[in-house]
A and B are shown apart, each in its own frame.
Chain A
């Protein structure tokens, strides 16, 4: 039996460590460990709740807007404060743009190279590649000339003895299966994706600010003054600039991201059977359509044991089914005690000890819903959407399974989504649905302004005494919730239960493994020194951790450098 540890280069940089026992070429047991103490929530204590979002969006520089959105929703929930429709639509456009950006980056920049062998693209015939691409998509930038130019550029890098952004990849690994032509196509789209990330970012920039940290939120609404006759406010010129970018990005999603994911799924059919792990799913509704958050364009709920018939819908921002059923366990986490508590009643007292795979081994707490581990993320949202008959989700899911099935020459049913590649497919399905809904919410905003409604903000008032509130948001990586206790207009307690905590959390007091841990069991490992297969499954969750990691053998000697992004 071999034991693999994938651990960050340094403790301070590292967030995620994965340990796996391997026997007979398969993972038999796995541990997921967060290697950095955060406790940033404690900075919030005693502050004005109206400023909390400014701080929470600095928790992480990649998931900025999502922590801002969840924070204002938590305070609004505590105060029973409604939000004007324009403010909901503007927030929804930011949420949608951020999600599309994040999912495109994840597939092309952060995980495609787990499946695509860049070096093999040198052997491709650009003319054949172009023919193949044109059989899958009407995208105009798949011409032989454009593909040849990408291949020449790649050749230049390889001949100069460096692979630039592709250094440290598993080139030539036996688990790489794509033909050279598909690899070349993927490298070409990897480069094109950069331009679309920029376009979709410009939507956030027009509405939020030119930095990744948005400036336009407020408890009670947004700070985007609307005046169609004023250059410095939100006006028709800016609204149409947003619309143009939504249209361009939707085309990229339909004509590039969609066929690329279908092709990868079709050519790695094994990976539609590995990596299911925890099949209890949790998502929350988002894209509110009213002022109080009781009607949504994207449904949420729970599914237990992988059975879509068990779906239980979460219907509002004030849903007791969500509020009452979340807890966090520290039985295997480096905090003082071994309790499982509701977020309102938690504290964050660090107590570090050595890594003990039978005892405490992570800084991440273990969130549970009704005491059960839950998988969160696009797959949870898509499965809940399918179970509730959400039309765009059902349509995109059917189209994806049909297209991947046609390329593979087999029939694929929704059950294949419970897998490593199923998570990639679900992320793309969600991106497609969001691109449609973003255009819808753009239309709703323009229509509401057209009626002469320019309201953007309701003033919050803080009564004396204590209020408790929670705010949730279906973020790119899944269900995010912020929990706030306010006393006499100051923050008394604040907890963020983030998506990667649900998925990357350790075992709980009943020794139930978290989703990463469960999903790795049964994964094949062709070469323990180059554990590409483990990275495929961990990356499919989109860990929000940009950390370089290296592989250690049990006595701590470094044997190979890899990356978990």
Chain B
């Protein structure tokens, strides 16, 4: 195991080098979401009766957190293939490689948080004591990113099909999660209610977004998040014990 500071430097090097040949560097990671939020915010302001000061913060926070989550999930299936050389030369354990990848996605997120800050300032959303829960939610999200990347990475290095499956699922999940639409009051039952209750992404998104917007987090969300985190972590540990020495043979 390498020290955490070493892993951070590795992630930082990777991140910095990636934007080396661009003209304005990591600013690009702000352009995409900004355009998305502006366009969709204006468009939906016209076609639906949602108020901009409700919809745009909802959209902005949702989209940025979604980028983080989908970064973890989409990157996870190929993480060990991408680091084949490091695995076969020794020196880095699978966990080291996973942590570097998670930190890299975290760096991207830290840039995009600026968009959330800008939106919150613009719409004068106040930072309350309750808002700190959001940071706790974020921490849970990142910890889940670690086991998820390790788990999907191990399975994905053996079954390359997983990359395709994940890509398909994530596309649907983006639409099924309330990011570009607002769940209505009455939507806790009916078809939409089912969509929300059985969508783990919604619960993970909610523990970060709801505190910032001053909404309450339902007990269901906390239960699902805690249960998934614990089960996921435990299953990953069990798989890691069995598969850690298989991965070098598969990559």
Indicate, yes or no, whether A interacts with B. Answer: no
Residues of B at the A interface (CB closer than 8 Å) are none
Residues of A at the B interface (CB closer than 8 Å) are none
